[in-house]
Structure 1
Amino acid sequence: MGMSRLFSGSALVVPLSFFPTLARAAFLSYFLIFLKERFDLSVDQIGLFVGGFILLSSVSSLVFGAVLDRLSIKALMLISSVIQSAVYLSLFMFNSLALVFILCLLLNLAYLSLETAVRMCIARLFTPQETASVLSLKYTFTNTAYALGPLIGLWLNRQGVSPLLFCSASALIFIVVIVSPFALPRVVDRQNVEGEGWFGSLAIMAKDRNLLKFSVASVLLAGVFGQFHMYVGQYLITTHSTAQMYEIINVVFVTNALTSILLQYLIGRRVAAERFRYWIFGCIVAFVIGLIGFAFSSTLYAWVFFTAIFTVGEIIIQPLEFFYITRIAPAHMAGAYYSSQNLTYLGAASTPVVCGFILAGFNPLYFLLYLLVLLMVGGVIFYVEGGKLIQPGTKKPLSNGAVGDQGSI
């Protein structure tokens, strides 16, 4: 796939998705300070506040996903960008905690909807052979944004400039799609779309055993890697001094970011649905080695090594989840099915809570056992079900068999 293709026409949505993510990363790092300074919330109250709007918006995005298939993708992306930009500015102006919570809920829902729309574009624009490379570049942009965003947000705050102004401008950059030629292959298979309705789409999803298995597996695996920075920090608090904890967690953050940026494309572009079981096995092994290494590391060099191995597992699992959901999604319900990936936030958000409970009353090794159980159950489901992706009769991916005439959307 030519790199230049990503920077022209409809494919421009892939690199442009960097900017809303950059805004989100800068916002989340500054938001903790924002809540503390403006509303004087305690640490546990901040955790409940942030976890609350993230979880609610994740569940809401699943419901809203059924609506996405009935909207113009271009209009959806533009509306989402404008909403994000407006919410960042509104947070700068309002002082009501309840209103801030509602705005954050709307902000996260708009961001998740935009990410779903980008995944739909990738599925329709690129062939299965190109998808792995495109996804790897997409995740490289995402990882780079999450590495740069907190630095930009904290630097602006120290300069006396509200990061919310930067976030608003960054989120709005996505509207560049207005001036680009934007056309996607139209979905041909739209049987019964008009008659299904919103509740009908949700009912179909609830009855789809493949989707239910995917959701369970992805939530369990997200519990292992989704918020690993946070639970590693919680673990270090109970096993190391404060000074050691800060030193190690900084090394973990930097190693994870650098490994993701440097290896995402090199490894991710080789991941293929045809060898799904080989890749998921490698992913599980990387996570197991990383987790055991975290439990027994005694030097900074060991933390660097095992964090890098763990990050390789993260790099592999992301395109595998995309391949899985793309293969099982009906062509006319792509938005609803891609929105189900947002349920992984449930797993990611639950682990720090369980971690705190286990570390408060039990040996830290019990937490390692908990993570290994999540990993084994989720990994086995993916291994067994993912192997069916290459069997004859499996649904064709959206990017290959569900497209027809070219049309502006």
Structure 2
Amino acid sequence: MRIREWDRNLKIRLFGEGMMNILFWMFFPFMAIYFSDSFGKGMAGLLLVLSQVVAVIANLVGGYCADQYGRKQMMFLSAIGQGLTFIVFAFANSPWFDSPMLTFISFSILGLFGSLYWPASHAMVADVVEEKDRNTVFAVFYTVLNISVVVGPILGGLFFFQHRFSLLLMAALVSFSLAVLIAVFIRETAPEKRQNSLVPDSSTKWTTFIWTQLQDYRVIAKDKIFLLFILAGVLVAQTFMQLDLLIAVYLSEKVPEQAVLSFLGTPIIADGNRIFSWLISENGLLVALLTVYMTSKMNQFKERNVFIISCLVYAISMILFGNVTSVWLLVIAMFVFTMGELMVVGIQEGFVSRLAPEHMRGQYFAAASLRFTIGRTLAPAAIPLTAILGFQWTFYVISFLAVSAGLLYYMMFTMSEKMAFNRS
């Protein structure tokens, strides 16, 4: 399915969200540094965890609201909210006023509005795209996101520390522009809206309102296939998160300085930190270039086999990383790691869209995102584990968890077959 054949909703979102993602990645990677300098590492870590908890709850509420009140309404309100928050964010970093605490509050509220936006955004893809084309469409959106991940930090390094006020005002302008595009050009696609307003009844406490929404997720909790998908996804996510954790520390501490190439007779020397930056670039470049291609190829195979083999590829990459120090062998290990990522990046969202009932797609996408949230929470445990087991055995443990994810996927598809719900 070519982009020119896409529904207008998707074309507008691809452009608008692409711009937002670039601006987001122009400041997001540097916020941990900013908070550490402002509050100290301990307090900064605690505050970032608290903001993550708020985002998780908002994500679940956002999924519910996307089903109850419509995709367009949630996306519009979220874009407006982000624009207003960016203005406060900019004011807290203006030439006239500087407030790290107001900056943190703004940063957390941005995460909240983002969590309200994305379940509706993902559900809209499932609403307007036929099942056979969903994997490819999700892959294109993932490609644009990863281009933003590559381009955003490069631009952010130029603007964040010297021109933060202007950068945040630009982000506000883009947010409001996206809200206008949504309001004027995007149509509602939700198959069912049970309510007409996001405002709870005046006699209802806001805590009761939110709790009632979260209780609706009990229906999802009874979906055993989906629960296995989330559990396996957590194990895969914690493996993927090691890219910025265990792998980064290993390269920094264990990979010696070495000659990589020779240019005009002069050797190019790189230590572990520089090699890590090259490997990150390799991963980003491969994802940007090959996501759509890999997704189209994976669509030719049974989903069960793709999910399981992806886990095995991740496991192999972890073993490679833990046993090599040569830059070129590390490049091969990163290639294997990235192939494990690309095999499933397109089909995961398509799988969720088929598993979810039409009237609960937003909630299913919101709950599915818990894979990454929980995985991101568990992944840092690998660092202290190295003090007990050493790097090599810690990589073996991560590899074992990836294989375990494959077993859970096998159980998931076996169960679906028994329930006459085979999505292979």
TM tier relative to shorter chain? 0.7 to 0.9
Greater relative CO, 1 or 2 (CA 8 Å, sep 6+): 1
Structure 1 CA distance for aligned equivalents of residues 51 and 173 of structure 2: 23
CA positional deviation for 1:354: 0.6
Structure 2 CA distance for aligned equivalents of residues 10 and 331 of structure 1: 18
Residue of structure 1 in register with 2:400 after alignment: 373
Change (3 A) 1:183 1:91: closer
Residue of structure 2 in register with 1:56 after alignment: 54
Matching of residue 281 in structure 1 with residue 308 in structure 2 = yes
Residue of structure 1 in register with 2:261 after alignment: none
> The residue matched to 2:325 in structure 1 has which SS?
coil
2:342 maps to amino acid: I
Matching of residue 164 in structure 1 with residue 179 in structure 2 = no
CA positional deviation for 1:227: 4.8
Residue of structure 1 in register with 2:295 after alignment: 268
Equivalent residues of 1:325, 1:337 under 8 A apart: yes
CA positional deviation for 1:390: 7.0
Residue of structure 2 in register with 1:32 after alignment: 32
Equivalent residues of 2:25, 2:149 under 8 A apart: yes
Structure 2 CA distance for aligned equivalents of residues 189 and 66 of structure 1: 11
Match of residue 117, structure 2, among 114, 118, 130: 114
Structure 2 CA distance for aligned equivalents of residues 83 and 374 of structure 1: 39
CA positional deviation for 1:91: 2.1
Structure 2 CA distance for aligned equivalents of residues 29 and 117 of structure 1: 25
Q: Which runs of 5 or more structure 1 residues have no equivalent in the other structure?
A: 191-195, 398-409
CA positional deviation for 1:391: 7.5
- Which entry has the higher C-alpha Rg, 1 or 2? 2
Matching of residue 334 in structure 1 with residue 337 in structure 2 = no
Residue of structure 2 in register with 1:14 after alignment: 14
Change (3 A) 1:9 1:61: closer
Match of residue 189, structure 2, among 184, 188, 195: 184
Change (3 A) 1:14 1:392: farther
2:178 maps to amino acid: F
CA positional deviation for 1:395: 8.6
Equivalent residues of 2:63, 2:120 under 8 A apart: no
Equivalent residues of 1:217, 1:381 under 8 A apart: yes
CA positional deviation for 1:265: 0.7
Equivalent residues of 2:68, 2:192 under 8 A apart: no
Q: Which runs of 5 or more structure 2 residues have no equivalent in the other structure?
A: 93-97, 196-210, 258-269
Range that drifts further, 246-255 or 372-381: 372-381
Equivalent residues of 1:224, 1:351 under 8 A apart: no
> The residue matched to 1:215 in structure 2 has which SS?
helix
Structure 1 CA distance for aligned equivalents of residues 143 and 119 of structure 2: 17
TM-score by length of 1: 0.85
Q: How does 1:294-309 map to 2 (within 5 A)?
A: 294-309=321-336
Equivalent residues of 1:224, 1:375 under 8 A apart: yes
Equivalent residues of 1:9, 1:182 under 8 A apart: yes
Change (3 A) 1:379 1:24: farther
What is the CA deviation profile of residues 182-220 of structure 1, one whole-angstrom value per residue up to 9, with x for unaligned ones?
243635999xxxxx9625512212322223222211111
CA positional deviation for 1:141: 0.5
2:171 maps to amino acid: C
Change (3 A) 1:392 1:234: same
CA positional deviation for 1:131: 0.9
Equivalent residues of 2:66, 2:362 under 8 A apart: yes
Structure 2 CA distance for aligned equivalents of residues 43 and 214 of structure 1: 35
Change (3 A) 1:15 1:6: farther
**How many equivalent pairs are there?**
390
Percentage of identical aligned residues: 18
CA positional deviation for 1:255: 0.4
Change (3 A) 1:173 1:316: farther
What is the CA deviation profile of residues 249-303 of structure 1, one whole-angstrom value per residue up to 9, with x for unaligned ones?
1111100100000110100133339711221133123212221221122222222
Residue of structure 1 in register with 2:223 after alignment: 208
> The residue matched to 2:189 in structure 1 has which SS?
strand
Change (3 A) 1:99 1:289: same
Residue of structure 1 in register with 2:373 after alignment: 346
Match of residue 64, structure 2, among 59, 63, 66: 66
Structure 1 CA distance for aligned equivalents of residues 189 and 355 of structure 2: 20
Residue of structure 2 in register with 1:219 after alignment: 234
Structure 2 CA distance for aligned equivalents of residues 258 and 149 of structure 1: 14
Change (3 A) 1:177 1:316: same
What is the CA deviation profile of residues 118-163 of structure 1, one whole-angstrom value per residue up to 9, with x for unaligned ones?
2101111111111121111111011101111111111113654543
Structure 1 CA distance for aligned equivalents of residues 378 and 53 of structure 2: 13
TM-score by length of 2: 0.82
Equivalent residues of 2:86, 2:172 under 8 A apart: yes
Equivalent residues of 2:286, 2:338 under 8 A apart: yes
**What value does the CA root-mean-square deviation take over the aligned residues?**
3.0
